[in-house]
Each structure stands twice: as C-alpha cells, then as structure tokens.
Structure 1
Amino acid sequence: MTEPFAFFNPTLDVYISQGDLPHWRQPRALYFVTFRTADSLPHHLIEAWRIQREDWLNQHPKPWDEATADAYRERFPRQLQRSLDQAHGECLLRDKDLRELVDSSLRRFHQERYWLDEHVVAANHVHALIAPLGTWELSRILHSWKSFTATAINKAAHRSGPFWQKESYDHIVRNPIELEHIRNYIKAHK
C-alpha cells in the first residue's frame, strides 16, 4: 500500500509562512507538529530561548548546509521540546477525561481530512504526525483541533481564556529514518 503522505522533497516548491516560527508547506507532506498549552513554558524560558536563537542565527547566516541545519534543529526546536517535557503550568491534560477529549478530537477526522500517525497528549502539550488530505491545510486542521478542545476544556474545567498557545511548531518529516526517530520520540511519551 502506498503511504498517504510524502517526505520533504527539496526539488519541489516550498511555501513558507512566518509567525514567531517559520512554517514550511508542501503538498502531501507529513508533518511532526507540537502544540502546547498557553501556560506550558514560563516567560523567562521563552525569552532566554529567543535571545539564544537570535544570537545563533546572526552567527550562522543562511543558506545552511545540512550539518548547520541539524545543529539548529538540535539546539532550538529540540531544546524547546525538552522544556515542554518538564511539565510547567497547570498541566490540565493530566486529567484522564480531558486527555481523552483531546485524543478523540485528534482521531475524529482521520482518513477524511488528514492521515493521523503516531500522536500523544502529554500533560501540557500534544505531539502528532499528520498529513493533510485533499484540500485540507495543516493550519486549518490545527485551528479546528485547538478551537474545539479549548472550548470543551474551559467548560469542563470551569475556566475561561486562552487554553492553547496561539502558534504551533511544525516540521516536514525528511525521510523514513527521521520518521522512525519521531515515532519513537512520541511513543516514549505514552
């Protein structure tokens, strides 16, 4: 059976949008995404990370070779992932019912709007491997997940205000070796 997704293809066009993070898009791409609760990282950690990243980028102007790109990914996105694993914030997703609400929302349109691979709902963040299907775009899928679950969680927890951080991290999976590494990383959270 042919996989319903493709790995990053350097010969195809890449659409890049910019928020606090760059977001690369390619048709049929498989993405590793992480979205986190609004209180998951203390402000001082985010600010220190941002300053270190800005300094590093100034010292390593693009274009990058593969070794420099790997160094960037290890130093910054992975560093942020490790900080999330320290479980800062309220960690409302430790509650079994709230965790299951998010998990069922992720599974809801599997094979209809997107292909959902390995995923996990952690105490203060979510990791998922996902490939949008048809005309569905990753940003629209993420917005749907986050909007629905934030409303439901706020109602269940008798709270109001933002539940999820506005921006999500996403990365186009490069190859089968990287895919296996990411799958193992997600499984280690379970």
Structure 2
Amino acid sequence: MTGCKPVLQQNMDEFHERHLPHFQPLGGLFFVTFNLYGCIPKEIYQQWEHEFQVEKEKIMLFSKSKNEDLERLNKIAFAKKDKFLDTYSGGKHFLKSETLAKIVADALHFWDGKRFELFAYCIMSNHVHVVLRLFNDTEISTPPYLQEIMHSIKRFSARECNKLLGETGKFWQDESYDRLIRNDEELHKILVYVLNNPVKAGLCQQMKDWKWSYIKDVYNHIM
C-alpha cells in the first residue's frame, strides 16, 4: 500500500462509543460495521438515537436480564441501520468510486498479519463490513485493542480519500457497530452475511461477483 502507514492511537479516551456496551477483549474475533459520515439524513439518525436510548433506558430500569435484552436491542438497531444503508439512494456514496474503495481495501489489509488476522470484508458504496481477529499477547508483544485498529484504519483511509475528493471534513461516522464472535457457528453465519450483502442489495447475482469483497482462503468454500 502506498502513502503513509496508519498510526495506532494510544489514547483510549478517544474511543468511547456513545451507543453500545462494548466488550472488546484483546485477541477477540469481531464483526465490525462502519459507514460514511452524512450517508444517513440527520433527522433519521437522531430519531434512531432517540428510539435506542428510550428502549435502553427501559431495559436498564426494568429488565431482569439486562445483558440479553441489550444484545437484542443492539441487533435490532444494527439490522434497521444496515437495511437502510443497503436501500437508501440518497446521502453520500463515495465508495462507488473504485479508487476510493481501493484505499479502504488497502487500509483493511495493511495490518493483516501484523496486528490482526483479516477474515473477510465487504465494501459497499456507503458502508463497510469487516471480520477480523485481534492478535493476543502470545502472538505479538503489544496486542492492540479493537478501537485502536479501527481508529487507525478509518483515520488513514479518511485522510487519503479526502485528498482525492478535495475535502477536509469528516469522512466516516464516529460510531460503529461491533460484535464479539463467540463460536464457529456464529462466525460462519456472519461471514455469509458479510459476503451476501451486495447480493441482498441487488447489486450482483452471486457473492463471488462483487469486486470489493474479500474472504480468507480457508473460507473460500463460502463463496
């Protein structure tokens, strides 16, 4: 990959996520989704934010199984947002540009084998799905947190894409969705979900037809 390499940020205060109660252990396997800033109308985003906080407050006050109900709420919120991103023709779709999509792909591959193991990704016109496993302290001396990795990827790709666009403002939405993958069955379902995204959105007939998808060789049978 050309250009300056992504820089891992050490100040963890910068990675506080406003929406979700994240559990991000070192060495974890994660499903992450992040989207372009401005690809969702502000009024819709604020409405979702309000609805999420109302439901979260109810759970925190009244639920007898808070963790399970929060996980269910997170899944519902993610599904609503992802469906919108797949179908909304307005907003920003910068990643339709092959040049910009390649910058994002290169940023995702940069730390593969150095800080994490990249399992899969799918780059859509306004959002990105990625599955990766962080290296632990038996594999490298200073294993990263997920927030550090995502900050590095987003910071580098935002800078390079903005250069080409002639822009200086935000490129990515600050918040992202992440989920710790707990077993092989869940991993398989998520890999299929990621690779099937452009098929579901009506952009291609088969998973293998989408140019901006990647799957680790050992999982090629999924394609």
TM-score range, shorter chain: 0.7 to 0.9
Q: Aligned letter for 1:167?
A: E
Q: Aligned letter for 2:18?
A: D
Which residue pairs with 2:133 in the alignment? 131
Report % sequence identity. Answer: 26
Which residue pairs with 2:164 in the alignment? 156
Residue among 84, 108, 111 paired with 2:110? 108
Query: What TM-score, normalized to structure 2?
Result: 0.71
Which residue pairs with 2:27 in the alignment? 28
Q: Aligned letter for 1:19?
A: E
Which residue pairs with 2:77 in the alignment? 76
Q: Aligned letter for 1:117?
A: F
The structure carrying a bigger strand percent of its residues is: 1
More off after superposition, 71-80 vs 43-52: 71-80
The offset of 1:154, in angstroms, is: 0.7
Query: What TM-score, normalized to structure 1?
Result: 0.82
Distance 1:122 1:48 in 2: 24
Distance 1:32 1:150 in 2: 20
Distance 2:66 2:145 in 1: 29
The structure carrying a bigger helix percent of its residues is: 2
* Compared CA separation, residues 147 and 175, structure 1 to 2 (3 A): same
Aligned residue for 2:87, secondary structure, equals: coil
How many corresponding residue pairs?
Answer: 174
Residue 179 in structure 1 maps to residue 177 in structure 2: no
Which residue pairs with 1:19 in the alignment? 17
Contact 2:26 2:144 in 1 (8 A): no
Which residue pairs with 2:205 in the alignment? none
In structure 2, list runs of 5 or more residues that go unmatched: 1-14, 198-209, 211-223
The offset of 1:67, in angstroms, is: 6.1
Q: Aligned letter for 2:181?
A: V
RMSD: 2.0
Distance 1:69 1:178 in 2: 18
Residue 170 in structure 1 maps to residue 178 in structure 2: yes
* Compared CA separation, residues 90 and 65, structure 1 to 2 (3 A): closer
* Compared CA separation, residues 148 and 66, structure 1 to 2 (3 A): closer
